[in-house]
Amino acid sequence: MTALPLQLREGEEIPALTVRPDLGQVIRFCAASWVFPPIFYDVEAARAQGMPGTLIPGPLKLGFLYRAVEEWLGDAGFVRQVRAAHRRPDVTGSALTVRGRVVRAYEESGRQRADLELAVENEAGETSVRGYASVELY
């Protein structure tokens, strides 16, 4: 956990989170979610679909967005929403970096809230996922 943010400031960047999901992690995701498209674990099936290798599931990438925001937020609040728009496939074993920044800080219903823009960057520096999150302080 990082230090608690005392204020939600527009323009504040959250710490980057870099992960490198391997096949074992993807298979554990499939088991936890009970979803088993072969393209996630069978390289021949993935190549038959025109992919260079097995893919990192979109919901796993959404979870990395969530994780990056939650680790930044610490115990100061909770993540109300996280969204992902998937732009490019990411291949298992490749490094992904989640970046984000606060774009709006406001008070609503007596609560301190903030909206963040997020992105997942691949090893080439391309954005594979565009994301959004909304957080609320306790």
Partner 1 sequence: MVAESLLTNEVRALIGQATAPVPVRLTSRMVERTMDVYLGGRPRRFAPGEAVPGFVLVALEAEAEPLDVPQLLPDGLMISNEMTFERPLCLGEELTVQWRVGEIRERFGGQFGYSVFVPTEVLVRDVTGAVVARTSRTMMYYDASDVPGEGGER
> In the complex, which residues of this chain contact partner 1 (CB under 8 A)?
25, 28-29, 31-35, 37, 39-40, 49-50, 55-64, 66-67, 70, 78-90
Cβ-in-10-Å burial (0-12, 13-18, 19+) of 24 comes to exposed
Least distance in Å: CB of 3 to partner 1? 19
Nearer to partner 1, 67 or 101 (CB): 67
Q: Which of 46, 79, 51 is nearest to 63 (CA)?
A: 79
Least distance in Å: CB of 57 to partner 1? 6
Nearer to partner 1, 11 or 49 (CB): 49
Beta carbons of 15 and 2 less than 8 angstroms apart = yes
Beta carbons of 136 and 77 less than 8 angstroms apart = yes
Least distance in Å: CB of 116 to partner 1? 14
Helix (H, G, I), strand (E, B) or coil at 107: strand
Nearer to partner 1, 18 or 81 (CB): 81
Least distance in Å: CB of 90 to partner 1? 8
Nearer to partner 1, 59 or 103 (CB): 59
Question: Around Cβ 63, how many Cβ atoms within 10 Å?
Answer: 16
